[in-house]
Amino acid sequence: MGCKAQLSPTFYDSTCPNALTVIRTSIRTAVSRQRRMAALLTRLHFHDCFLQGCDASILLNDTPTTERTTFSNVGVGGYEVIDSAKSGVENICPGIVSCADILAVAARDASVAVGGPSWSVGLGRRDSTAAYPSQADSDLPRADQDLQSLISDFEVKGLSERDMVALSGAHTIGQSRCVAFRGRIHGNGSDIDANFATTRRRNCPLTRGEGDDNMAPLDLVTPNSFDNNYFRNLVQRRGLLQSDQVLFNGGSSDRIVLEYSNSPSRFASDFAAAMVRMGEIDPRTGANGVIRTICSAAN
Protein backbone atom coordinates (compact mmCIF):
# COMPACT_ATOMS: atom_id res chain seq x y z
CA MET A 1 0.00 0.00 0.00
CA GLY A 2 2.98 2.27 0.48
CA CYS A 3 3.37 2.48 -3.29
CA LYS A 4 0.28 4.65 -3.58
CA ALA A 5 2.10 7.76 -2.39
CA GLN A 6 4.55 7.39 -5.26
CA LEU A 7 1.86 7.81 -7.92
CA SER A 8 0.59 11.31 -8.65
CA PRO A 9 -1.91 12.71 -11.20
CA THR A 10 0.55 15.56 -11.81
CA PHE A 11 3.57 13.34 -12.45
CA TYR A 12 4.04 14.52 -16.06
CA ASP A 13 2.94 18.14 -15.60
CA SER A 14 6.45 19.50 -16.08
CA THR A 15 8.08 16.76 -18.16
CA CYS A 16 5.26 16.14 -20.69
CA PRO A 17 2.33 18.52 -20.02
CA ASN A 18 0.39 17.55 -23.16
CA ALA A 19 0.65 13.78 -22.68
CA LEU A 20 -2.87 13.28 -21.30
CA THR A 21 -4.41 15.35 -24.09
CA VAL A 22 -2.65 13.28 -26.75
CA ILE A 23 -3.76 10.02 -25.11
CA ARG A 24 -7.35 11.22 -24.71
CA THR A 25 -7.59 12.24 -28.37
CA SER A 26 -6.22 8.88 -29.47
CA ILE A 27 -8.67 6.93 -27.30
CA ARG A 28 -11.67 9.03 -28.33
CA THR A 29 -10.84 8.45 -31.99
CA ALA A 30 -10.52 4.69 -31.50
CA VAL A 31 -13.78 4.37 -29.55
CA SER A 32 -15.67 6.53 -32.04
CA ARG A 33 -14.62 4.09 -34.76
CA GLN A 34 -15.56 1.02 -32.71
CA ARG A 35 -17.58 1.36 -29.50
CA ARG A 36 -16.47 -2.08 -28.34
CA MET A 37 -12.92 -0.71 -28.10
CA ALA A 38 -13.87 0.90 -24.78
CA ALA A 39 -14.45 -2.56 -23.29
CA LEU A 40 -11.25 -3.94 -24.81
CA LEU A 41 -9.13 -1.14 -23.35
CA THR A 42 -10.69 -1.54 -19.91
CA ARG A 43 -10.04 -5.28 -20.00
CA LEU A 44 -6.49 -4.75 -21.23
CA HIS A 45 -5.68 -2.59 -18.19
CA PHE A 46 -7.37 -5.10 -15.87
CA HIS A 47 -5.48 -8.08 -17.31
CA ASP A 48 -2.24 -6.15 -17.02
CA CYS A 49 -2.72 -5.20 -13.38
CA PHE A 50 -3.70 -8.69 -12.22
CA LEU A 51 -0.35 -10.15 -13.29
CA GLN A 52 2.47 -8.81 -11.14
CA GLY A 53 0.89 -5.35 -10.99
CA CYS A 54 0.21 -2.59 -13.51
CA ASP A 55 3.48 -2.71 -15.47
CA ALA A 56 2.41 -3.09 -19.13
CA SER A 57 3.79 -6.64 -19.25
CA ILE A 58 0.72 -7.71 -21.24
CA LEU A 59 1.81 -5.48 -24.12
CA LEU A 60 5.12 -7.30 -24.65
CA ASN A 61 4.94 -9.37 -27.81
CA ASP A 62 8.22 -11.27 -27.81
CA THR A 63 7.36 -14.91 -28.46
CA PRO A 64 7.38 -17.38 -26.76
CA THR A 65 7.36 -15.33 -23.58
CA THR A 66 4.35 -13.13 -24.33
CA GLU A 67 1.22 -13.11 -22.15
CA ARG A 68 -0.93 -12.29 -25.19
CA THR A 69 -1.29 -15.88 -26.41
CA THR A 70 -2.20 -17.47 -23.07
CA PHE A 71 -5.67 -19.00 -22.77
CA SER A 72 -6.87 -16.28 -20.37
CA ASN A 73 -5.89 -13.54 -22.80
CA VAL A 74 -7.61 -14.95 -25.89
CA GLY A 75 -10.07 -12.26 -26.94
CA VAL A 76 -8.10 -9.46 -25.28
CA GLY A 77 -7.53 -6.62 -27.74
CA GLY A 78 -6.80 -2.94 -28.15
CA TYR A 79 -3.04 -3.36 -28.38
CA GLU A 80 -2.86 -1.30 -31.57
CA VAL A 81 -4.73 1.57 -29.90
CA ILE A 82 -2.20 1.70 -27.07
CA ASP A 83 0.61 1.55 -29.64
CA SER A 84 -0.93 4.52 -31.45
CA ALA A 85 -1.31 6.54 -28.25
CA LYS A 86 2.25 5.72 -27.28
CA SER A 87 3.53 6.81 -30.69
CA GLY A 88 1.73 10.13 -30.33
CA VAL A 89 3.23 10.72 -26.90
CA GLU A 90 6.71 9.69 -28.03
CA ASN A 91 6.49 12.29 -30.81
CA ILE A 92 6.20 15.11 -28.28
CA CYS A 93 8.08 13.67 -25.29
CA PRO A 94 10.46 10.83 -26.21
CA GLY A 95 11.21 8.35 -23.43
CA ILE A 96 9.14 10.08 -20.76
CA VAL A 97 5.71 8.44 -20.44
CA SER A 98 5.44 4.76 -19.56
CA CYS A 99 3.25 2.25 -21.37
CA ALA A 100 1.78 1.25 -17.99
CA ASP A 101 0.58 4.81 -17.41
CA ILE A 102 -0.87 4.99 -20.92
CA LEU A 103 -2.86 1.81 -20.21
CA ALA A 104 -4.23 3.31 -16.99
CA VAL A 105 -5.17 6.62 -18.63
CA ALA A 106 -6.67 4.84 -21.65
CA ALA A 107 -9.03 2.84 -19.42
CA ARG A 108 -10.29 6.05 -17.82
CA ASP A 109 -10.69 7.84 -21.15
CA ALA A 110 -12.47 4.79 -22.62
CA SER A 111 -15.00 4.88 -19.80
CA VAL A 112 -15.72 8.55 -20.40
CA ALA A 113 -16.04 7.98 -24.16
CA VAL A 114 -19.03 5.64 -23.65
CA GLY A 115 -20.77 7.68 -20.97
CA GLY A 116 -19.06 6.19 -17.94
CA PRO A 117 -17.43 7.92 -14.98
CA SER A 118 -14.10 9.71 -14.92
CA TRP A 119 -11.48 9.54 -12.18
CA SER A 120 -8.11 10.96 -11.35
CA VAL A 121 -5.36 8.59 -12.51
CA GLY A 122 -2.24 8.41 -10.40
CA LEU A 123 0.83 8.42 -12.65
CA GLY A 124 4.48 7.50 -12.36
CA ARG A 125 4.38 3.77 -13.08
CA ARG A 126 7.30 2.28 -14.91
CA ASP A 127 7.28 -0.64 -17.32
CA SER A 128 8.50 -4.19 -16.82
CA THR A 129 11.05 -5.76 -19.16
CA ALA A 130 9.55 -9.25 -18.86
CA ALA A 131 6.16 -10.90 -19.26
CA TYR A 132 4.60 -13.57 -17.02
CA PRO A 133 2.77 -16.04 -19.29
CA SER A 134 2.98 -18.89 -16.77
CA GLN A 135 0.93 -16.89 -14.26
CA ALA A 136 -1.76 -15.63 -16.63
CA ASP A 137 -4.04 -18.66 -16.39
CA SER A 138 -3.68 -18.95 -12.62
CA ASP A 139 -3.97 -15.27 -11.62
CA LEU A 140 -6.66 -13.98 -14.00
CA PRO A 141 -10.34 -14.59 -13.15
CA ARG A 142 -12.20 -17.16 -15.24
CA ALA A 143 -15.72 -17.15 -16.67
CA ASP A 144 -16.71 -20.28 -14.73
CA GLN A 145 -15.63 -19.25 -11.22
CA ASP A 146 -17.85 -19.32 -8.15
CA LEU A 147 -18.39 -16.36 -5.86
CA GLN A 148 -15.98 -17.30 -3.09
CA SER A 149 -13.08 -17.95 -5.45
CA LEU A 150 -13.69 -14.59 -7.14
CA ILE A 151 -13.75 -12.82 -3.78
CA SER A 152 -10.50 -14.57 -2.81
CA ASP A 153 -8.77 -13.76 -6.09
CA PHE A 154 -9.56 -10.07 -5.70
CA GLU A 155 -8.65 -9.99 -2.01
CA VAL A 156 -5.18 -11.30 -2.88
CA LYS A 157 -4.77 -8.17 -5.01
CA GLY A 158 -5.96 -5.91 -2.18
CA LEU A 159 -9.45 -5.43 -3.61
CA SER A 160 -12.66 -5.90 -1.61
CA GLU A 161 -15.82 -7.79 -2.51
CA ARG A 162 -17.46 -4.45 -3.35
CA ASP A 163 -14.51 -3.59 -5.60
CA MET A 164 -14.91 -6.96 -7.32
CA VAL A 165 -18.63 -6.44 -7.97
CA ALA A 166 -18.09 -2.86 -9.17
CA LEU A 167 -15.27 -3.89 -11.51
CA SER A 168 -17.42 -6.74 -12.86
CA GLY A 169 -19.78 -3.95 -13.92
CA ALA A 170 -17.31 -3.19 -16.71
CA HIS A 171 -19.31 -5.92 -18.45
CA THR A 172 -21.94 -3.28 -19.07
CA ILE A 173 -19.98 -2.88 -22.33
CA GLY A 174 -18.26 -5.39 -24.55
CA GLN A 175 -18.83 -8.93 -25.75
CA SER A 176 -17.83 -12.48 -24.94
CA ARG A 177 -17.10 -15.56 -27.03
CA CYS A 178 -19.46 -18.53 -27.15
CA VAL A 179 -16.79 -20.80 -25.69
CA ALA A 180 -16.92 -18.77 -22.45
CA PHE A 181 -20.69 -19.03 -21.88
CA ARG A 182 -21.67 -22.25 -23.67
CA GLY A 183 -21.84 -24.26 -20.45
CA ARG A 184 -24.11 -21.74 -18.77
CA ILE A 185 -26.69 -21.34 -21.54
CA HIS A 186 -26.90 -25.08 -22.23
CA GLY A 187 -26.81 -26.18 -18.59
CA ASN A 188 -30.52 -25.79 -17.82
CA GLY A 189 -29.67 -24.33 -14.43
CA SER A 190 -32.14 -22.59 -12.15
CA ASP A 191 -29.98 -19.45 -12.17
CA ILE A 192 -30.69 -18.53 -15.81
CA ASP A 193 -33.80 -17.07 -17.42
CA ALA A 194 -35.16 -19.66 -19.88
CA ASN A 195 -35.97 -17.17 -22.64
CA PHE A 196 -32.55 -15.59 -22.34
CA ALA A 197 -30.87 -19.00 -22.59
CA THR A 198 -32.93 -19.91 -25.67
CA THR A 199 -31.99 -16.67 -27.40
CA ARG A 200 -28.28 -17.12 -26.72
CA ARG A 201 -28.28 -20.76 -27.88
CA ARG A 202 -29.19 -19.66 -31.41
CA ASN A 203 -25.70 -18.33 -31.95
CA CYS A 204 -23.81 -20.68 -29.63
CA PRO A 205 -24.33 -24.41 -30.33
CA LEU A 206 -23.79 -27.03 -27.64
CA THR A 207 -21.15 -28.88 -29.67
CA ARG A 208 -17.59 -27.79 -28.94
CA GLY A 209 -15.82 -26.46 -32.00
CA GLU A 210 -19.02 -25.11 -33.52
CA GLY A 211 -19.36 -21.35 -33.20
CA ASP A 212 -16.71 -21.11 -30.49
CA ASP A 213 -15.78 -17.58 -31.54
CA ASN A 214 -19.34 -16.31 -32.06
CA MET A 215 -19.85 -13.21 -29.97
CA ALA A 216 -22.68 -12.08 -27.71
CA PRO A 217 -23.01 -8.82 -25.76
CA LEU A 218 -22.31 -9.04 -22.04
CA ASP A 219 -25.17 -6.57 -21.52
CA LEU A 220 -28.02 -7.44 -23.84
CA VAL A 221 -29.92 -4.17 -23.21
CA THR A 222 -27.38 -1.39 -23.87
CA PRO A 223 -24.17 -3.17 -24.95
CA ASN A 224 -22.39 -0.02 -26.10
CA SER A 225 -23.23 2.33 -23.23
CA PHE A 226 -21.80 2.48 -19.73
CA ASP A 227 -24.78 2.18 -17.36
CA ASN A 228 -26.18 -0.10 -14.65
CA ASN A 229 -28.19 -2.42 -16.93
CA TYR A 230 -25.61 -5.15 -16.35
CA PHE A 231 -26.78 -5.39 -12.75
CA ARG A 232 -30.44 -5.23 -13.71
CA ASN A 233 -29.77 -8.15 -16.03
CA LEU A 234 -28.28 -10.15 -13.13
CA VAL A 235 -31.40 -9.57 -11.01
CA GLN A 236 -33.41 -11.00 -13.92
CA ARG A 237 -31.01 -14.01 -14.15
CA ARG A 238 -29.71 -12.79 -17.49
CA GLY A 239 -26.00 -12.68 -16.78
CA LEU A 240 -24.10 -14.04 -19.78
CA LEU A 241 -21.15 -15.60 -17.95
CA GLN A 242 -21.38 -17.89 -14.95
CA SER A 243 -18.97 -15.55 -13.16
CA ASP A 244 -21.46 -12.73 -13.79
CA GLN A 245 -24.52 -14.51 -12.44
CA VAL A 246 -22.80 -15.80 -9.29
CA LEU A 247 -22.77 -12.18 -8.14
CA PHE A 248 -26.55 -12.46 -7.77
CA ASN A 249 -27.45 -15.99 -6.79
CA GLY A 250 -28.24 -16.01 -3.08
CA GLY A 251 -24.74 -15.08 -1.90
CA SER A 252 -23.13 -12.22 0.00
CA SER A 253 -22.83 -9.99 -3.07
CA ASP A 254 -26.59 -9.96 -3.80
CA ARG A 255 -27.05 -6.79 -1.75
CA ILE A 256 -24.36 -4.95 -3.72
CA VAL A 257 -25.88 -5.99 -7.05
CA LEU A 258 -29.31 -4.79 -5.89
CA GLU A 259 -27.79 -1.51 -4.75
CA TYR A 260 -26.16 -0.92 -8.13
CA SER A 261 -29.26 -2.02 -10.04
CA ASN A 262 -31.23 0.67 -8.23
CA SER A 263 -28.58 3.41 -8.26
CA PRO A 264 -26.56 4.17 -11.41
CA SER A 265 -24.72 6.94 -9.56
CA ARG A 266 -23.56 4.63 -6.75
CA PHE A 267 -22.30 2.11 -9.26
CA ALA A 268 -20.46 4.81 -11.23
CA SER A 269 -18.76 6.22 -8.13
CA ASP A 270 -17.80 2.79 -6.79
CA PHE A 271 -16.52 1.72 -10.22
CA ALA A 272 -14.31 4.79 -10.45
CA ALA A 273 -12.92 4.21 -6.93
CA ALA A 274 -12.28 0.54 -7.68
CA MET A 275 -10.47 1.40 -10.91
CA VAL A 276 -8.19 3.73 -8.98
CA ARG A 277 -7.40 0.97 -6.47
CA MET A 278 -6.86 -1.60 -9.22
CA GLY A 279 -4.51 0.79 -11.01
CA GLU A 280 -2.40 0.96 -7.86
CA ILE A 281 -1.69 -2.78 -7.63
CA ASP A 282 2.07 -3.19 -7.19
CA PRO A 283 3.24 -0.44 -9.54
CA ARG A 284 6.89 -0.36 -10.53
CA THR A 285 8.40 3.00 -9.72
CA GLY A 286 11.85 4.54 -9.85
CA ALA A 287 14.63 2.04 -10.51
CA ASN A 288 12.22 -0.93 -10.40
CA GLY A 289 11.24 -0.48 -14.03
CA VAL A 290 11.96 1.24 -17.32
CA ILE A 291 10.22 3.50 -19.83
CA ARG A 292 9.70 1.37 -22.91
CA THR A 293 9.75 3.46 -26.08
CA ILE A 294 7.82 0.77 -27.99
CA CYS A 295 5.18 -0.90 -25.85
CA SER A 296 5.39 -4.29 -27.55
CA ALA A 297 9.18 -4.59 -27.11
CA ALA A 298 11.31 -4.82 -23.98
CA ASN A 299 13.90 -2.46 -25.54
pLDDT digits (tens, 9 = 90+) for 221-269: 999 999 999 999 999 999 999 999 999 999 999 999 999 999 999 999 9
In DSSP terms, 8 is beta-bridged to 123
Q: State phi, psi for 137 to the nearest 5 degrees.
A: -80, -15
- The annotation status of 53 as a binding-site residue, yes or no, is yes
- Known binder of ligand: residue 280? no
Helix (H) or strand (E) holding 175: strand 175-177
Please report, rounded to a whole number, the percentage of residues in the chain having pLDDT higher than 90: 92
179 has a pLDDT exceeding 70 = yes
Candidates 72, 35, 37, 77; CA nearest to 59 is 77
Look at residue 75 in the predicted model and tell me its pLDDT: 85
Burial of 92 (0-12, 13-18, 19+ CB in 10 A): middle
Task: Please tell me whether 17 is known to bind a ligand.
Answer: no
Is 227 a known ligand-binding residue?
yes
Q: What pLDDT was estimated at residue 4? A: 45
Q: Summarize the confidence of residues 128-155 as an average pLDDT.
A: 94
User: Is 48 marked as a binding-site residue?
Assistant: yes
- Of 70, 221, 192, the C-alpha closest to 137 is 70
Task: Tell me: pLDDT of 57 over 90.
Answer: yes
The 3-state DSSP composition of the chain as helix, strand, coil percent (nearest 5) reads 50, 5, 45
pLDDT score recorded for residue 90: 98
**Is 141 annotated in some ligand binding site?**
yes
129 is in an annotated binding site: no
Q: Which of 85, 113, 80, 115 is nearest to 98 (CA)?
A: 85
Query: What would the mean pLDDT of 72-100 be, rounded to a whole number?
Result: 96
Task: Quote the CA–CA distance of 82 and 176 in Å, as a whole number.
Answer: 21
Asked whether 158 and 277 are in contact (CB, 8 A), the reply is yes
Q: How confident is the model at residue 188 (pLDDT cuts 50, 70, 90)?
A: confident
Q: Is 67 annotated as a binding residue?
A: yes
Please report, to the nearest 10 degrees, the dihedral formed by the alpha carbons of residues 135, 140, 146, 150 taken in order: 110
- Positions annotated as catalytic residues are 47
